[in-house]
Structure 1
Amino acid sequence: MKIIECPRDAMQGIREFIPTALKAKYINQLLKVGFDTIDFGSFVSPKAIPQMRDTAEVLGKLDLENTSSKLLAIIANTRGAEDAAQFEQIDYLGFPLSVSETFQQRNTNKSVAEAMQQLARIQEICQKSGKTLVTYISMGFGNPYNDPWDVDTVIGFVQELDKLQVKIVSLSDTIGVATPANITYLFSHLIPAFEHIEFGAHLHTTPATWQEKVAAAYEAGCRRFDGALRGYGGCPMAKDELVGNMATENLVGFFENKGVNLSLNKPALQVAMAESGAVFL
């Protein structure tokens, strides 16, 4: 089981700038917990996401000597990929690819077709630099813009990603509209059909619906889940449709109740929970 902790996703929509030292201190505490991966920052335009303008500085302050966690950075174009690829410490580059034309324009200022072309070049950059590309299929469970969506559309996107040899695909419930039925359908069809791809669940949710969504993905075979402590954050590009992240502590409790050994440092997790208040409140 892989839990991807996403402080970047939690921080990016906060208007007041979080000091670089405070970001680094919090992420360093998260690195002690034992999460598989930390989604720590993004190499995107500071005009688009001002909160992430210091990602390179934060990276320079991280203590990576005594951690098993890997680092993931979000990028939105080839320039961001080239910038991120220069850092040896970064293992994964994450690219948001939307099945919604409207959201792709809002998120990366490109059409879906243009984003696919960019993705092909980003994959080349990853392969040359020894990074692994993680593609997020945003609006993967529906959208509020009346853009076409159905499960076959999502499966078609995965087929295109497979042609590019993308090895990790995370289905993203960007605005919290996924249902247990479509979560179950997608994961139960995609995982056996593309055995060489690792599928993840990036689920935005509300306190009332998180458990049924996690259960549906888990029971359909998903073993990679994104979360953020206390459910902070969400995608600021979704604007009025903003819904919070999956709370990591809920994921931990759910999987422990299932008897899954997460191998987490629980005291370090409790400290991170306490420190999160200083960052986000």
Structure 2
Amino acid sequence: MKLIECPRDAMQGLHDFIPTATKTAYLNALLQVGFDTLDFGSFVSPKAIPQLRDTAEVLAGLDLTNTKTKLLAIVANLRGAETAAQHPEISYLGFPLSVSETFQRRNTNQSTPEALADVAAMHALCERNGKTLVVYLSMGFGNPYGDAWSPEIVTDFTRQLAALGVRIVALSDTVGTSSAATIAPLFSALIPAYPQIEFGAHLHTTPGTWREKVAAAYEAGCRRFDGALGGFGGCPMAADELTGNMATENLVAFLAEQGVPTGLNMAAFHEAQLLSQPVFAGH
């Protein structure tokens, strides 16, 4: 079981800039919890995501001496990937590839073919630099733009990623449109069809729907889940203001009910929870 904590996703849409020292202290607390991976920042245009303009400074302040947690940085293009790849502390580069052409253009200012070409180049870059590319299939469960969506379209994108050699693919519920009825069939079909790929679930949810979504993915064989403490953040394009990231505490509770060990230091977990409140206060 792999739990990926995503403070980057929780922070990126906040209007008020979180001071670098505050970000760094929070991330250092998260590094003590024992998550598999910390999605800590992004190397993207500061005009696009001003909240994360200090990612390089934050990275310099992280204490990686007593943690098993690996670092993941989000990139939006090859230039960002080249910058991130220069940092030996980073294990994973994450790229949002959308099955929605409209969202791809909004998110990375590219067409889908251009984005796929970037994926190929990023994968090669990661291979040369001892890193692993994580592709987030955004709008993986539907989208609000009217673009075509079907399980077959998601499967075709996955086939193309497999052909490029991509080893980690996270199906992403960018605006909270997923349900158990869409989650279960996709994971049930893809996981056995592509055993060389590690599939993850990056689910956004309202407070009342998280359990059915997690259960559907877990029961279909998914063993990699993204979350954010407190369920903070989420896509600003979501129509429902209650739609946020999957709350990590809910993931942990669900796994405990299943008798699945997480290996987390729960004292450190609760300390990070307390720290998260002032970080996100007023947002």
**Range of TM-score over shorter length:** over 0.9
1:261 aligns with 2:281: no
1:52 aligns with 2:52: yes
Residue 137 of structure 1 corresponds to which residue in structure 2? 137
Identity %: 65
Alpha-carbon distance in structure 2 between the residues aligned to 1:60 and 1:122: 23
Alpha-carbon distance in structure 1 between the residues aligned to 2:240 and 2:42: 22
SS of the residue 2:256 aligns to = helix
Matches within 5 A, 1:186-205: 186-205=186-205
Matches within 5 A, 1:89-128: 89-128=89-128
Q: How far does residue 177 in structure 1 lie from its aligned partner after superposition?
A: 0.8
Residue 33 of structure 1 corresponds to which residue in structure 2? 33
Residues 184-218 of structure 1 deviation map (CA, whole Å, 9 limit, x = unaligned): 10000000000010000000000010000000000
Letter in 2 for 1:187: F
TM-score scaled by structure 2? 0.98
Residue 84 of structure 2 corresponds to which residue in structure 1? 84
Letter in 2 for 1:83: T
Q: How far does residue 235 in structure 1 lie from its aligned partner after superposition?
A: 2.4
Residue 158 of structure 1 corresponds to which residue in structure 2? 158
1:279 aligns with 2:282: no
Alpha-carbon distance in structure 2 between the residues aligned to 1:115 and 1:239: 23
Alpha-carbon distance in structure 1 between the residues aligned to 2:197 and 2:118: 20
SS of the residue 1:42 aligns to = strand
Q: How far does residue 240 in structure 1 lie from its aligned partner after superposition?
A: 4.6
Runs of 4+ in structure 1 over 3 Å off: 239-242
Tell me the matched-pair count. 280
Alpha-carbon distance in structure 2 between the residues aligned to 1:239 and 1:251: 21
Residue 229 of structure 2 corresponds to which residue in structure 1? 229
Letter in 2 for 1:222: C
Letter in 2 for 1:129: N
SS of the residue 2:38 aligns to = strand
Letter in 1 for 2:260: V
Alpha-carbon distance in structure 2 between the residues aligned to 1:239 and 1:268: 31
1:167 aligns with 2:167: yes
Letter in 2 for 1:88: P
Q: How far does residue 113 in structure 1 lie from its aligned partner after superposition?
A: 1.0
Letter in 1 for 2:189: H
Letter in 2 for 1:188: S
Alpha-carbon distance in structure 2 between the residues aligned to 1:141 and 1:89: 32
Letter in 1 for 2:263: S
Alpha-carbon distance in structure 2 between the residues aligned to 1:24 and 1:3: 20
Residue 206 of structure 1 corresponds to which residue in structure 2? 206
**Contact between 2:227 and 2:248, CA under 8 Å: does it hold in 1?**
yes
Unaligned runs of at least 5 residues, structure 1: none
Alpha-carbon distance in structure 2 between the residues aligned to 1:79 and 1:155: 28
Letter in 2 for 1:133: L
SS of the residue 2:244 aligns to = coil
Alpha-carbon distance in structure 1 between the residues aligned to 2:220 and 2:53: 38
SS of the residue 2:47 aligns to = coil
SS of the residue 1:91 aligns to = strand
Residues 162-182 of structure 1 deviation map (CA, whole Å, 9 limit, x = unaligned): 011000000000011111011
Residue 250 of structure 1 corresponds to which residue in structure 2? 250
Residues 20-61 of structure 1 deviation map (CA, whole Å, 9 limit, x = unaligned): 000000000000000000000000000000001000000000
Letter in 2 for 1:10: A
SS of the residue 2:136 aligns to = strand
**Contact between 2:175 and 2:238, CA under 8 Å: does it hold in 1?**
no
Residues 77-100 of structure 1 deviation map (CA, whole Å, 9 limit, x = unaligned): 000000000000000000000000
* RMSD (Å) for aligned C-alpha atoms: 0.9
Residues 243-266 of structure 1 deviation map (CA, whole Å, 9 limit, x = unaligned): 300000000000011000101100
SS of the residue 1:221 aligns to = coil
SS of the residue 2:245 aligns to = coil
